[in-house]
Chains A and B, each alone.
Chain A
Amino acid sequence: MKTDDPNINWVEEPKLGLAGRMYLPLLIGGLTTTARHTVSKKVTVSYPEQEPEIANKLIYRGVHRLNKDEQGRVKCVACFLCATACPAHCIDIIGVESPWPDREKYPESFVIDELRCIYCGMCEEACPVDAVELTSMYNLTGRSREEMIFDKEKLLSVYDATKDDEPMKSAEFGGTV
């Protein structure tokens, strides 16, 4: 496009008065913004003392948990659907024959590598028995790789810690309970 193209709309620079040339309107505008912020409500959340509000804890995707049924047994039936659905390949399950009559298999070991997990919630969606779920724990950190690999006991203990706050998902949120 050349500069003499008729489609170009040329805009003239506005003429400034004395005040405008001394940047007074802009200066006052900027100071007004500053003054407004000094008296307005503070936006800072003082985090460790003040927890952030999570609107719906049932659909938040944080650290995983393994649910237990009424008899305190692990709900998982070792079907490997979550491990298959996982895009980051972070779930390792070893399934063995179940000692209970109502199912064929149960997980002897169920390990989720929280470091590799991307918290997408696909495992929770894939699970046919609502055994693996994501809780609203959002501030997990670790000093070593080993402590971030969650085994069955740890995942079950997450359930114990969060079961009162976040009941197992209802049908409304895609669960079967």
Chain B
Amino acid sequence: MTVSNELNLPKPWIEGRFEENVITTTVEQAINWARQSSIWPMTFGLACCAIEMMAAGASRYDMDRFGAGAFRATPRQADLMIVAGTVTYKMASRVRRLYNLMPDPKFVIAMGACTVGGGPYFKWGYHVVKGVDLVVPVDVYVPGCPPRPEALLEGLMRIQDKIRGHKIHVQKGTNIKIPDELPLPHHSGYVDAPADQDPLLDHQKITG
């Protein structure tokens, strides 16, 4: 066995053994690298913070530099939900539903004072959810009213840090089932789906 230094540490098994044109890495690092540099956010502007989110996506701040400029209009293609704006109780079930529709691994940024904790609506806002973390799990909080685009980019970089820290063997158990499901929304409000039927399949039947 070759000894690399006085501390008697073994040399890395494969890294740096080849010429410069050959790059070696671990599968874990490769997957994390690919994931962190293509976080596709979902278009999810709910109120005024959405304007600042658009500014972050436009040419001056350019979220494409982080590989996160492809705002998707469907949760099926999105990895990141930037909840930008006031979440009302009426919207809360939709937020939860869209979050559930996103493929794993999925991340949530709560952007702005209203989203992270009710903000100015905390005391008298009868219709505002006091923090979106009561509805979906939040990974990064970005305070401000609204936050600057730089603050949102900072939040995005923290998401990237989080992805970089992922381990493959931990990855298996991350499909967490959220226990308290909200009722399914339909065009006019809430319906209570019958418990013995699959709510997604029977949704059309219930709404008529």
Contact = CB atoms under 8 A, between A and B. Distances in A.
A114 to B, nearest CB: 5
Nearest to B161: A143
B158 A143 contact: yes
B104 interface: no
A116 B141 contact: no
Contact of B119 (A46, A116, A141, A145): A116
A45 interface: yes
B154 interface: yes
Contacts of A139: 148, 150-151, 153-154
A30 to B, nearest CB: 17
A45 B60 contact: yes
A45 B65 CA distance: 10
A144 to B, nearest CB: 8
B158 A89 contact: no
Interface in B89-144: 113, 116-120, 122-123, 133, 139-144
Nearest to A144: B141
A24 B145 CA distance: 46
B154 A113 contact: no
Given A44-B59, A143-B158, A52 B143 contact: no
B122 A88 contact: yes
Contacts of A72: none
Given A43-B60, A47-B150, A114 B143 contact: yes
Interface residues of B, number: 31
A148 interface: yes
Contact of B157 (A48, A52, A88, A89): A48
A141 B157 CA distance: 10
Given A44-B62, A45-B61, A143 B119 contact: no
B61 A44 contact: yes
A58 interface: no
B141 A115 contact: yes
A46 B143 CA distance: 22
B123 A89 contact: yes
A116 B151 contact: no
A142 B120 CA distance: 20
A67 B147 CA distance: 24
B36 to A, nearest CB: 14
Contacts of B157: 48
Contact of B141 (A43, A44, A87, A141): A141
B41 interface: no
B120 A87 contact: yes
Interface in A112-164: 113-120, 138-145, 148
B155 interface: yes
A118 B120 contact: yes
A145 to B, nearest CB: 7
B141 A148 contact: yes
B95 to A, nearest CB: 18
Interface in A79-107: 87-89
A115 B143 contact: yes
Interface string B143-185: 1110011110111011000100000000000000000000000
Given A44-B65, A47-B153, A141-B141, A116 B59 contact: no
